[in-house]
Structure 1
Amino acid sequence: MKRHPILFIIIIVIASVLFYQWMLHQKYAERPMPTELHPKVGQATEKLIKQSEDIGISIIITDGLRSVEEQNAIYEQGRSQEGKIVTYAKGGESYHNYGLAVDFALEPSDGQVIWDTEYDGNSNGQSDWMEVVDIAKSLGFSWGGDFSRFKDYPHLQMDFGLSIRELQKGKRPKDVMD
């Protein structure tokens, strides 16, 4: 019987890669879901509110961290519950679930909350919404209006280079920042 050393080496390499991936999964698998916004997301959100106010635009953060249960309830809107579809992300599939996203709206001086992307409350000839988006992007946020599949105009997120799949497996921003 002739031995094939190359085949043996390939099997060892594949087994090593699989073992390494299994070990990584074990390392992160038991991590609990976050219970608050990531500190960098929180700090950037505070700066966004302040910098928007500095140019005469008042915004309100309408949503931040969401539990898996809250996400599932929002997902059901327009499906098994009344209303229009506002998300395609089930619980655990949204950056909100990991404290990495916020939603905003404009808050004109009359106290209303509006999602009018054309509104120019500071009367400078530019959409207040897009001025806020520009500030958010300068602070490191990605904007849901740039998403290719589903435009989510109120949505701002910082993913720290992590996919939803990685987050679901327990990986967190500090793992990629260390």
Structure 2
Amino acid sequence: MKTRILFIILGVFAVFYLYTQYQKYSSRPMPTELNPIVEEKMNSLITKTEERGISIIITDGFRSEAEQNVLYQRGRSTDGQIVTYAKGGESYHNYGLAIDFALRNDNDEIIWDMEYDGNQNGESDWMEVVSLAKELGFSWGGDFSRFKDYPHFQMDFGLSIQELQWGKRPPDVID
């Protein structure tokens, strides 16, 4: 009986804590562009890949909730393959914390070929880009356990999607 009462009390405190956290941040507006730190790191990634003879293009960055919902419908209620499992507000793109990339080959074509070695150094250009992005602090979607998202990089700053939905925001300047 005492254990049950203790669990009830702990449950009430947990609900109260979560509610106060939600109230503390819930009035913050949604971002409308890439986080400045993510943008700075993205630009560094472009420069570093160019220095290695690799040309990349950023195919997506900030994405509104409406744009995310359109992508979510692909392969469900609209034609095409499923490209995301995240609805609007459930993607780091919606908070300006993610980018997607592709390679540009010697013919100036945009490709998603993970084996392509355009700089002829014996290494996959794709994996060279991944390595550079990780050095800059990005997480790679190819490491995700549920849905492999090979063109995807993100910086979550230790924040979960739920915390972002509640209104918590990462820093926008490097200390």
Which residue, 90, 98, 102 being the options, matches 2:99?
102
Alpha-carbon distance between aligned partners in 1 of 2:8 and 2:93, rounded to the nearest angstrom:
41
In the other structure, the counterpart of 1:59 is 56
In the other structure, the counterpart of 1:42 is 39
Runs (4 or more) in structure 1 with deviation over 6 Å come to 7-13
Which residue, 26, 32, 35 being the options, matches 1:29?
26
Taking structure 1 as reference, are residues 46 and 13 closer, same or farther at Cα in structure 2, changes over 3 Å only? same
CA drift of 1:10 comes to 8.3
TM-score, normalization: structure 1?
0.89
Q: Where in structure 2 are the equivalents of 1:16-165 lying within 5 Å?
A: 17-165=14-162
Alpha-carbon distance between aligned partners in 2 of 1:147 and 1:12, rounded to the nearest angstrom:
37
Higher RCO structure, 1 or 2 (CA under 8 Å, sep 6+): 2
* CA deviation string 1:140-171 (max 9, x = no partner): 00000001111100000000111111111111
What letter matches 1:65 in structure 2?
Answer: F
In the other structure, the counterpart of 1:4 is none
Asked which structure has the greater CA Rg, the reply is: 1
In the other structure, the counterpart of 2:163 is 166
What letter matches 2:47 in structure 1?
Answer: K
Alpha-carbon distance between aligned partners in 1 of 2:7 and 2:71, rounded to the nearest angstrom:
47
Alpha-carbon distance between aligned partners in 1 of 2:47 and 2:87, rounded to the nearest angstrom:
32
Taking structure 1 as reference, are residues 14 and 64 closer, same or farther at Cα in structure 2, changes over 3 Å only? same
Alpha-carbon distance between aligned partners in 2 of 1:67 and 1:78, rounded to the nearest angstrom:
19
CA drift of 1:20 comes to 3.6
User: CA RMSD of the aligned region, Å?
Assistant: 2.5
SS in 1 for 2:171: helix
What percentage of residue pairs aligned between the two structures are identical? 65
Provide structure 2 residue ranges, at least 5 long, that are not aligned to the other structure: none
Of 42-51 and 20-29, deviating more is 20-29
